[in-house]
Structure 1
Amino acid sequence: MTKRICLFVFLSVLALAKVAQAGTVVLQPGRDSYLVHAVVDVLEDPTGRLSFDEISKDPSVVAFRQYDVGQFSFGFTKSAYWFRFEVLNPAAIPHDMVLVMRTAWLDTISIYQPDGAGGYKETRLGDTLPFSARLHPHPQFLLDLQARPGPQTYYLRISSTQAFLSPIELWDAQAFHDNDRLLLAYFGMFYGVVVVMLLYNAFIWVSTRDRSYLYYCLYLGAFFIMNFSYNGFSFQYLWPDSPRWSNWTYTSWVFLYQLMAIIFAMVFLETAKRLPRMHRLLSLFLYVMSAAWLISILFASPVFHNATGVYFVFLYSPLTAVAGFLAWRSGFRAARFFVVASMGNLVGAFITAMTVSGFMPYSFVSFHAVEFGILADVILLSLALADRIKYLRLQNETAEKAIIEQKLQSNELLRQAKDDLERIVSERTAELRKARDEAERLSRVDALTGAFNRRYFNEVAALEFAKVRRLHQPLSVISFDIDLFKQINDNHGHAAGDEVIKAAARVSRNAVREIDFVARIGGEEFAILLPGSTIEQAAATAERLRELVIAEQVSYQGKQLAFTASFGVAQLKDSDQSFEALLQRADEMMYRAKNLGRNRVAA
């Protein structure tokens, strides 16, 4: 009877929550995240002078309005906005949550949460503060929130001179950190692709001195710093103590990216020779954009300056696409790839600009559309550059052959000239192949440690998995993670943490056989592939490596840093359908070792 009464009370609370005001988030068992921005109540403060005491005195007097469209973008505005929402925890115990504001460029954020004594405590965030002032070292804004039993009302005040786009989410604390690893993996993959393509094309430029490759590298570099900036990583890693610089450079990187994109289009399409009218139009657009950039910095308000950079996106993208189409129509074969690539970039940049400006609802896909567009752009423009080189080479070969045939009367001299030409082409081809091989090598190696990266580890592991299945040989994996690595970073700095990671990689490579494969697969996580080793042999190797790690001392700024690691060992089973199952068991053993007290081997 008592159980039935409790169940009835719980269902009644949920039913009442569903008819409560729009700004209520009801915590549900088994649910990890909630879209707060879809249910908040909103109050616009055009003057920015309203205080918390004024807006929280009498809810019936303060003109909050329900905001349930889920878009949560107000474009570019000088107004501050107040948001109110309620969290209803029907459980009898508090629940640890994380309030997440996804936009990295918000200037000032004030969060008011109940203090448990009838009042409110204020927490301030925003990119006008140094990065060290954040509660969590994260490019987005995070706040720990403890949802006490029953209803609790929370308030937010946000203002920004950048586009007022602020999706707000409420996460279970552990679920957020698990999900955040996936998001960081996405960014790691994306920036890795951009950097690899930049280096690849830089090697080609060094080899060929074709300035199209140079301007393409500058274009990719401008996109990288722009994207790295507005996703919050530049403030976190490049200038964490310079919030003013970070705020002013957001829009400058947007302008720089557009300028480099237009200059690259003009060089690649040879508009000065093929499309003189379009060349003059593009040149005029460059001057107008540069003037707007300078004038808005010197004389305009920050809001107008930031809006100008975004609104120019709506002009530059179609303009470059039109230039590519005209070059294609004029008979320039390589322009066909440029047009298709420009369309991908155009659509992606346009959707992102529409989202940032408040004309489209926010979603992960729409906000990051420019990144998806640039991936297609990178692939297609690489094909375009290769096709352009082939086209120009054919032109050069035809012209050189005509000149040789006109000047040389002897067949022997003609043959010798053709041999020389083939030798030059062969040398150039070899140089390009060397640049390609070097870029491929860099894509397989972890830049910090010199060990192999996760991408190459997965490729080798797949091959070994197929091999041992065919030959019926044993295969084992060691997965290990540096213990208490966050404390090393917090106490000694990220540079010290990097030295510890490099030391772990160095010890691992020296402790295993030549046929074993060591890779860094995460921040401080490593994996070792041991072909032909049983679980007993792998465990012995892991124990030896654990002792070597204990004995390793890292010298940093006059200090000797010691560290330990936890190891998990697993052997391939007949029931394993893929290598991922083996790696997952090794990871589980590693976490078991950590749970048992760290600095040990679990198999």
Structure 2
Amino acid sequence: MLMTKRICLLVFLSILALARVAQAGTVVLEPGRDSYLVHAIVDVLEDPTGRLSFDEVSKEPPVVAFQQYDVGQFSFGFTKSAYWFRFEVLNPSAIPHNMILVLRTAWLDKISIYQPDGSGGYKETRLGDSLPFSERPHPHPQFLVDLEAAPGPQTYYLRISSTQAFLSPIELWDAQAFHDNDRSLLGYFGMFYGVVLVMLLYNAFIWVSTRDRSYLYYCLYLGAFFIMNFSYNGFSFQYLWPDSPRWSNWTYTSWVFLYQLMAIIFAMVFLETSKRLPRMHRLLSVFLYVMSAAWLLSILFASPVFHNATGVYFVFLYSPLTAVAGFLAWRSGFRAARFFVVASMGNLVGAFITAMTVSGFMPYSFASFHAVEFGILADVILLSLALADRIKYLRLQNEAAEKAIIEQKLQSNELLRQAKDDLERIVSERTAELRKARDEAERLSRVDALTGAFNRRYFNEVAALEFAKVRRLHQPLSVISFDIDLFKQINDNYGHAAGDEVIKAAARVSRNAVREIDFVARIGGEEFAILLPGSTIEQAAATAERLRELVIAEQVSYQGKLLAFTASFGVAQLKDSDQSFEALLQRADEMMYRAKNLGRNRVAA
């Protein structure tokens, strides 16, 4: 008898399932199927005021009618409206089925899920990034709720409101299948973030080794992308600030702003737009200021919707701008620009597609939602290929140079065999040329290319010898350290070429103002040092004061303008307690900075 009742129940539920397959808003559970796209069948009700209650939308007939939604998009862009969703789950079997309702978007502010409680009523589960992470039913970056699909049909309701982009793909999963799939997804994220971090550390190491600014800004760009994407996928709220929902809510788009700012700055530095593309440089600079102002204004006036919308919409501008800058630099003959264009294009396209998806202009899919991640991976891979191509190019150049040297030697040997009488003359001339080249190379290795003054390396060598000498002979030794005042303003106002002329003028005046035994060297960008053997601190201070007055009198002619400049001087004399020359130079530097702090254009000893 019991078996007969069960069979009748199964037949009834099967007939009911067949009757509801064509009905909108119904998910029919099927044996062996793991997941269902709820947003493909859901009914939608927009609540512009956000005041409709569950009782009002769930009663028959509802206060406002639900409508079927176009499944192609399932994105509402940026809106202040709340949205209600309704769908039905039909379990045609005779036993309950453990399911998990998944909302894939990690940044939704407020979510209320209403499911039957088994006694004719509904129970509410609240989620959203406006609540602490610890209040979630599942410790997961996305929003998960357990559903027990009882035999027969059951109706579920969701209410969602958010100041972020209203993108809300909804899925229903078999519980075990979801956890299996989630492990694979976490593996993907682990691999992805691992690649980004490895490349960040690798480029940071190169920057430390080379001090090339482009590597520094590329590291900052990768770091900004990492924290943006880490937040974008909900991991920062889970692991970094789980008890700070307000902070998390505001920083989602702040990281998007920061990522775009660093991408533009990296492009400007890498492409050398200030020198090669001055008009594009000005345009990118204006864009940076506008974006920064929009960012700050949206925070100051506490406008979340404006803050979030502008952060995403700026992607549509920065992507084409940087791409155009790359193409223009390439067309101007800058060879490295082709690496930038090829390596960055995938990232730019990925960011553009993701922004289109988040803004509601493209249909949602896993690929479009995560396109920015695929793009940055392409960026990293293509940059690696570009570096490999560069190494190959340099290797081929070296091989060609070696081959040319070998051919030249063979030709020289042939000439020697053909003209033995001229051997001594040729050898003598060649020896003289080599000696001259060696002397010139040695001189160049000691001299700063811009100013003609000695460089820091040779300065350190001479200083070490003088230090040992005066220690042995008990003679005085003084050092003057001076730095051109407000040099950055000169560069900013007149350009780097004008700054170079000022540096050369400072070096020229210094050499003319000291004795032949004194040693003038350029030891930094606009910083010089003068070694004065046999001079006391009083004599050195007098020399520094004379040099300061000569600098004031010096004027640099640049593009029809006369540029005046000043310098700050620090003077120090060797003490018996000094264990190395570096201690003496450090005191002179300290005096120089003291002179700057006292108002610049003065001598401190």
TM-score of the aligned structures, taking structure 1 as reference length: 0.64
Q: Secondary structure at the match of 2:102?
A: strand
Q: CA deviation at 1:231?
A: 0.3
Q: 1:368 aligns with which of 349, 367, 370?
A: 370
CA shift, 1:103, in A, is: 0.3
Task: Name 1:71's counterpart in structure 2.
Answer: 73
Pick closer, same or farther for the CA change 1:530–1:397 going to 2, 3 Å: closer
1:88 is displaced (CA, Å) by 0.6
Q: Which moved more, 1:281-290 or 1:158-167?
A: 281-290
| 1:284 CA displacement | 1.0
**8 Å CA contact retained: 1:204, 1:432:** no
Kindly state the Cα deviation for residue 277 of structure 1 after the two structures are TM-superposed.
1.2
Report the counterpart of residue 214 of structure 1 in structure 2.
Answer: 216
Change in CA separation of 1:270 and 1:512 when aligned onto 2, cut-off 3 Å: closer
Label 1:316 to 1:585 Cα distance change in 2 as closer, same or farther (>3 A): closer
Partners of 1:522 and 1:177 in 2: CA distance: 59
The answer to whether the 8 A contact 2:481-2:588 is kept is yes
SS in 2 for 1:458: helix
Q: For 1:371-382, what aligned pairs fall within 5 Å after superposition? A: 371-382=373-384
Deviation at 1:236, TM superposition (A): 0.3
Contact 2:548–2:567 (CA under 8 A) maintained in structure 1? yes
- Structure 1 residues 149 and 543, CA gap change in structure 2 (3 angstroms): farther
Aligned-pair distance for 1:18? 3.9
SS of corresponding position for 2:178: helix
Listed as ranges, the gaps of 5+ residues in structure 1 are none
Deviation at 1:392, TM superposition (A): 11
Report the Cα offset of residue 301 of structure 1: 2.2
Partner of 1:238: 240
Q: How much is the aligned-residue C-alpha RMSD, in angstroms?
A: 22.9
Q: Is the 1:113–1:122 contact (alpha carbons within 8 Å) kept by the matching residues of 2?
A: yes
How far apart, CA to CA, are the structure 1 residues paired with 2:532 and 2:179?
31
Is the 8 Å Cα contact of residues 17 and 28 (structure 2) preserved in structure 1?
A: no
Structure 1 distance, partners of 2:112, 2:355, is 27
Change in Cα spacing, 1:558 to 1:319, as seen in structure 2 (3 Å) is closer
- In structure 2, the CA distance between the partners of 1:598 and 1:278, relative to structure 1 (3 Å rule), is closer
The answer (yes or no) to whether the contact 1:36–1:168 under 8 Å persists in 2 is yes
Structure-to-structure mapping, 1:297-316, within 5 angstroms: 297-299=299-301, 301-316=303-318
SS of corresponding position for 1:408: helix
Kindly state the Cα deviation for residue 412 of structure 1 after the two structures are TM-superposed. 22
Going from structure 1 to structure 2, the CA distance change for 1:459 and 1:213 (only over 3 Å counts) comes to: same
Q: Deviations over 1:409-439 (max 9, x none)?
A: 9999999999999999999999999999999
Aligned CA distance change for structure 1 residues 279 and 66 (closer, same or farther; 3 Å): same
Alpha carbons 1:501, 1:524 under 8 Å: kept: yes
Seen in structure 2, the aligned counterparts of structure 1 residues 337 and 492 have a Cα distance that, compared at 3 Å, is closer
Alignment deviations for residues 53-100 of structure 1 (CA, whole Å, 9 cap, x no partner): 111111455310012424211000000000011111111111110000
8 Å Cα contact 1:352-1:370 kept in structure 2: yes
Q: Indicate conservation of the 8 Å contact 1:207/1:432, yes or no.
A: no
Which has the larger displacement, 520-529 or 28-37? 520-529
1:266 and 1:20, CA in 2 relative to 1: closer, same or farther beyond 3 A? Answer: same
Give, in angstroms, the shift of residue 299 of structure 1. 2.3
Structure 2: where are the runs of 5+ without partners? none
1:491–1:341 distance in 2 versus 1, CA, 3 Å: closer
Deviation at 1:338, TM superposition (A): 0.9
Q: Deviations over 1:349-377 (max 9, x none)?
A: 11100100011110000000010011111
Q: What is the number of residues matched between the two proteins?
A: 603
- Superposed, 1:98-497 pairs within 5 Å as 98-299=100-301, 301-384=303-386
Of stretches 125-134 and 417-426 in structure 1, the one that deviates more from structure 2 is 417-426
Given that 2:74 and 2:364 are in contact with CA atoms closer than 8 Å, whether structure 1 keeps it comes out as: yes
Sort the Cα spacing of 1:315 and 1:515 in 2 relative to 1 into closer, same or farther, 3 A: farther
Quote how far apart the aligned CAs of 1:282 are. Answer: 0.9
Cα drift, residue 343 of structure 1? 1.7
Answer with 329-338 or 238-247: which moved more: 329-338
Using the TM superposition, give the Cα deviation of residue 461 of structure 1 relative to its aligned residue in structure 2, in angstroms. 58
* Kept after mapping to 1: 8 A contact 2:312/2:355: yes
Q: Equivalent pairs: percent with the same residue?
A: 95
1:491-506 aligned at under 5 Å gives the runs none
* Distance in 2 of aligned mates of 1:314 and 1:204: 32
Contact 2:568–2:595 (8 Å) recurs in 1: yes
1:466-507 superposed Cα distances (whole Å, 9 cap, x missing partner): 999999999999999999999999999999999999999999
Offset at 1:576?
73
Deviation at 1:296, TM superposition (A): 1.6
Mapped to 2, the partners of 1:216 and 1:150 lie a distance apart of 57
Question: Partners of 1:568 and 1:172 in 2: how far apart?
Answer: 75
Q: Which moved more, 1:492-501 or 1:105-114?
A: 492-501
Within 1, Cα distance between the matches of 2:235 and 2:307? 22
More deviation, 393-402/210-219: 393-402
| 578-587 or 352-361, larger mean C-alpha shift | 578-587
Asked whether the equivalents of residues 105 and 247 of structure 1 are also in contact (C-alpha less than 8 Å), the reply is: yes
For structure 1, which segment, 334-343 or 572-581, has the greater mean C-alpha deviation from structure 2 after superposition? Answer: 572-581
3-state SS, counterpart of residue 411 of structure 2: coil
1:35-58 deviation per Cα after TM superposition (whole angstroms, max 9, x unaligned): 001101100000101010111111
- Provide Cα deviations, 1:285-332, integer angstroms capped at 9, x if missing partner: 111111111112112621111000000000000100000001111111
Deviation at 1:333, TM superposition (A): 1.1
Note if contact 2:552-2:564 (Cα within 8 Å) is conserved in structure 1.
yes
Paired residue secondary structure (1:43) = strand
Aligned counterparts of 1:225 and 1:422: Cα–Cα separation in 2: 71
Distance 1:537 1:96, change over 3 A: farther
- Seen in structure 2, the aligned counterparts of structure 1 residues 476 and 51 have a Cα distance that, compared at 3 Å, is farther
CA contact (8 A) 2:77 2:165 kept: yes
8 Å CA contact 2:106–2:233 kept in 1: the answer is yes
Give the distance between the partners of 1:18 and 1:581, measured in 2 at CA: 88
CA distance in 2: counterparts of 1:107 and 1:396, whole angstroms: 60
Q: Are the aligned partners of 2:13 and 2:93 in contact in 1 as well (CA < 8 Å)?
A: no
Deviations 1:203-261 (A, max 9, x none): 11111111111100000000000000010000000000100000000111000000000
1:40/1:83 contact within 8 Å kept:
yes
User: Matches of 1:299 and 1:462 in 2, distance apart?
Assistant: 60
Q: CA shift at 1:381, angstroms?
A: 2.8
8 Å contact from structure 1 (residues 98, 171) kept in 2: yes
Q: 2:581 aligned with 1:576, yes or no?
A: no
CA distance in 2, matches of 1:148, 1:297: 47
Alpha-carbon separation, structure 2, partners of 1:429 and 1:531: 36
> Counterpart of 1:5 in 2: which secondary structure?
helix
Residues 508 and 111 of structure 1: CA distance in aligned 2, closer, same or farther (over 3 Å): farther
C-alpha separation between the residues in 2 aligned to 1:306 and 1:429?
72
Pick closer, same or farther for the CA change 1:521–1:330 going to 2, 3 Å: closer
Q: Which moved more, 1:93-102 or 1:459-468?
A: 459-468
Contact persistence 2:13–2:92 (CA under 8 A): no
1:323 and 1:526 map into 2 onto residues whose CA distance is 37
Moved more, 430-439 or 391-400: 430-439
Residue 340 of structure 1 deviates from its aligned partner by 1.5
Quick one: distance in 2 between partners of 1:27 and 1:587? Answer: 78
Determine if contact 2:79/2:163 at 8 Å carries over to the other structure. Answer: yes
CA separation in 1, counterparts of 2:148 and 2:406?
82
- Contact preservation (8 Å) 2:17, 2:90: no
Aligned pair in 2 of structure 1 residues 294, 571: CA closer, same or farther (>3 Å)? closer
Q: Tell me, what secondary structure is at the counterpart of 1:409?
A: helix
The Cα shift of 1:177 comes to: 0.2
Determine if contact 2:17/2:92 at 8 Å carries over to the other structure. Answer: no
Are residues 33 and 217 of structure 1, via their aligned partners in 2, closer, same or farther at CA, if it must alter by over 3 Å? same
Change (3 A) 1:453 1:11: farther
Deviation at 1:346, TM superposition (A): 1.7
Q: Kindly state the Cα deviation for residue 341 of structure 1 after the two structures are TM-superposed.
A: 2.0
Q: In structure 1, how many angstroms separate the alpha carbons of the residues matched to 2:18 and 2:577?
A: 50
CA offsets per residue over residues 158-195 of structure 1, 9 Å max, x none? Answer: 00000000100000100000000010000001000000
Instruction: Give distance in 2, aligned partners of 1:25 and 1:534.
Output: 93
User: Aligned ranges for residues 580-595 of structure 1 at < 5 Å?
Assistant: none
Tell me the TM-score normalised to structure 2 length. Answer: 0.64
Question: Does the 8 Å contact 1:25/1:34 carry over to 2?
Answer: yes
SS at match of 2:419: helix
Query: CA offset at residue 590 of structure 1?
Result: 70
Mapped contact 2:27–2:38 kept (Cα < 8 A): yes
Moved more, 477-486 or 222-231: 477-486
8 A contact 1:82–1:156 mirrored in 2:
yes
